Amino acid sequence: MSKRITIDPITRIEGHLRIDCEIDGGKVTKAWASGQMWRGVEQILLGRDPRDAWAITQRICGVCTTVHAIASVRAVENALDMEIPVNAQYIRNLIILAHAVHDHIVHFYHLSALDWVDVVSALKADPAKTALLAESLSTWKGNSRHEFAAVKERLAGFVGGGQLGVFANGYWGHPAMKLTPEVNLLAVSHYLQALDIQRKANKVVAILGSKTPHIQNVAVGGVANSINPDGQSVLNVERLMAVKGWIDELADFVHNVYLVDVAAIGAFYADWTGYGAGIMDYLSVPDLPLDGKGTQFALPGGYVPGGDLTKFKPITRFGDPFFKDGVEESSKHAWYKGSGPLHPFKGETEPEYTDFQDNGKYSWVKSPTFLGKPAQVGPLARVLAMAAAKHAPTLKYLTQVLDTASAVAGTKIPLAAVHSTIGRHAARAVSCSVQVDELNNMWHRLVDNIGKGDIDTFNKPEFPKGEIEGVGFHEAPRGVLSHWVVIDNGKIKNYQAVVPTTWNAAPRNENDLPGPYEMSLLNNPVADPERPLEVLRTVHSFDPCLACAVHVLDVDGSQKSTVHAGCFSPSYQCEIGS
């Protein structure tokens, strides 16, 4: 008999993500992804000054504050067809990159590694063997026998004292956990080291953004940082040198720990390269503009239909009609009024709530499409586009992660393996490696430009009479983020944010085709419906910006038991922020 499990929100503020799966013969046969809360943040913006939108939209999400600020100012600048100083691009790019590196490290180690790593098993590890294994993979300074022994002792203290704290409620001992005690100890040690290293990325954001969380330095027309190499309270040489120091520490960790860990852990879970592909039409956008108008970018992006790199079509500039005209959103299966897919400039957010209807409306998330089809966004889409564009650093790290995983697994893992649950983690590590290098490159670009005597950071925007519209896109950590604004006589007339998690958590669309989460869950194994770890692995691999916990229901709908598990919430308030 098939069984239905529901992964539903339990948070202080109801809402967030709900995943329903029908399970038959130990596999998922049908899946629904449902956003359980209506925000309508766009409504708050109507009638406001477009220059204020970025400060308001960055409050949409707790984790991705900066990304909404960036997409918002880009949308307004695009509507005004204005150019901004290159220093402003470089400073924004540095913030974008530091935020992305922070986000990827935290997602892997602190939000999703525990789907794969059994913390309690690490207590059985031999620190000497762990050190031997670690040294065979990397030269990282934190891989000593002494370090692993100390972590094991600390962990024993927590477990012995019943104080698991952040490690409470895990699926310890679940049959789907496959790592040896030594690999578990290695991963737990790096989990703790990552707690320290992620702070460096945050410091970069804080120095350049004036404040974190919620950067203060962005403005329509540039940034508010004033540059003076010799000044006291501005962006000066001392602060720039501090930023460089943190960038170097981050690069060491990402290249020698994160990328290696993902490859090694992935090798133990090679069977997971066979699950979770789902939608293989991938969408990303280029980012890190190098000129004032956004016609040249450090990192390419575009559309990879069917996962076929030879069919890659790049998106080449801000406002590129290929992107701008390609996006639509359907409300057929979402709790909104209106019929037919609408372009975001014409987007409506008038609610029409029904119950959860399997074949009708069941989500507050709309269903976006690109060229009429669902698309997967995120690090995997980004890495595939960059590989298709023959971006050399991407190809280097992609080869490295596959080679390391192949060596540990003792079998050749092909590129096609990235279209999977574990592949999304590998792609995120590759992306992070590329981004941490770009952080260094961007720092040099900024310093060189200041060295030439250019200290401009802001061009004043002028709003015309009448109606204008613009789109701002940004390749955020979780994928394509776009803000769409219609401005009438200098006031916001319509505003729509199409966020990465909307793409991936989309419900069925106008043609009743499932979205990326829904497709990726099909045929996922589920060993124990009471503890659906495998479902969480696949959902988490997308890095959803949503929260949930698990209820297990019989097919007749009566609740049988409640299981704490669930996705993460970066904070209890975050719905479909990014």
Partner 1 sequence: MRIVVLGVGNILLTDEGIGVRAIEELGRRYQLPPEVELIDGGTSAMELLDDLANCDLLIIADCVRAGKTPGDLLRLKDEEIPALFRTKLSPHQVGLPDVLATLVITHEAPTHTVLFGVEPESLATSMSLTPVVAATLPHLVDAIAQEISAAGVAVTPC
Among the listed residues 166, 234, 241, 527, the single contact to partner 1 using CB under 8 A: 166
* Residue ranges in 423-462 that form contacts with partner 1 under rule CB under 8 A: none
Q: How many CB atoms lie within 10 A of CB 257?
A: 26
Helix or strand run (H / E) with residue 403: helix 392-409
| Residue 47 CB, nearest approach to partner 1 (Å) | 13
* Residue 149, H or E segment: helix 145-160
Applying CB under 8 A, the span of 88-96, 193-201, 229-237, 553-561 interacting with partner 1 comes to 193-201
* Among the residue ranges 161-169, 429-437, 473-481, 499-507, the one whose residues contact partner 1 (CB under 8 A): 161-169
Under rule CB under 8 A, residue 549 binds partner 1: yes
What is each CA distance from 165 to 123, 155, 157, 159, 169, in whole angstroms? 16, 11, 12, 9, 9
Provide the minimum distance between the beta carbon of 163 and partner 1 in the complex, in angstroms, as a whole number.
8
Among 70, 89, 566, 578, binds partner 1 (CB under 8 A): 566
Q: Is residue 422 a contact residue for partner 1 (CB under 8 A)?
A: no
Q: What string marks each residue from 31 to 70 as x (binds partner 1 by CB under 8 A) or -?
A: --------xxx-xx-----------x--xxxxx-x-----
Q: Is 165 in the site for partner 1 (CB under 8 A)?
A: yes
Our finding on whether 161 is near partner 1 (CB under 8 A) is no
For residue 170, the minimal CB distance to partner 1 (Å) is: 5
Please give the backbone phi and psi of residue 477, each rounded to the nearest 5 degrees, phi first.
-50, -40
Site for partner 1 in 64-123 (CB under 8 A): 65, 102, 106, 110-112, 114
If one asks whether residue 393 binds partner 1 (CB under 8 A), the answer comes out as no
* Spatial separation of the C-alpha atoms in residues 97 and 297, rounded to whole Å: 13
342 binding partner 1? (CB under 8 A):
no
Closest CA to 538 of 523, 560, 556: 523
Match 């030594």 to its residue by tokens.
Answer: 182
Q: How far is the CB of 539 from partner 1 (least distance, A)?
A: 10
Residue choice 29, 178, 213, 560 for contact with partner 1 (CB under 8 A): 213
Cα–Cα distances (Å) from 452 to 4, 201, 445, 447, 459, in that order, read 64, 27, 11, 9, 19
The answer to whether the bond into 213 is cis (omega within 30° of 0) is yes
Our CA dihedral for 318, 320, 322, 324, rounded to 10 degrees, sits at 70
Among residues 36, 189, 284, 569, the one that binds partner 1 under rule CB under 8 A: 569
The nearest distance, CB 561 to partner 1, in angstroms, is 16
Q: Where are the alpha helices (DSSP H) in 232-378?
A: 237-253, 259-268, 321-324
Among 11, 363, 509, 538, binds partner 1 (CB under 8 A): 11
**Diameter of the chain by CA atoms?**
73
Site size toward partner 1, by CB under 8 A: 60
| C-beta of 163 vs 511, nearer to partner 1 | 163
Nearer to partner 1 (CB atom), residue 165 or residue 453: 165
Q: Does 198 bind partner 1 (CB under 8 A)?
A: yes
State in angstroms the smallest separation of the CB of 378 from partner 1.
17
**How does DSSP assign 109-148, residue by residue?**
IIIIGGGT--TGGGGG--HHHHHHHHHHH---TT--HHHH
227 DSSP assignment = B
Residue 243 CB, nearest distance to partner 1 (Å)? Answer: 15
- Residues whose CB is less than 8 angstroms from the CB of residue 528 and which lie 6 or more positions away in sequence, other chains included: 174, 175
Half-sphere exposure of 346 (CA within 13 A, CB side): 13
150 binds partner 1, rule: CB under 8 A: no
Question: Amino acid identity, residue 462?
Answer: E
- 247 sits near partner 1 (criterion: CB under 8 A): no
Q: By CB under 8 A, is residue 12 in contact with partner 1?
A: yes
User: Which residues contact partner 1 (rule: CB under 8 A)?
Assistant: 10-13, 39-41, 43-44, 56, 59-63, 65, 102, 106, 110-112, 114, 154, 158, 163, 165-171, 192, 195-196, 198-199, 202-203, 205, 211-214, 536, 540, 547-549, 564-574
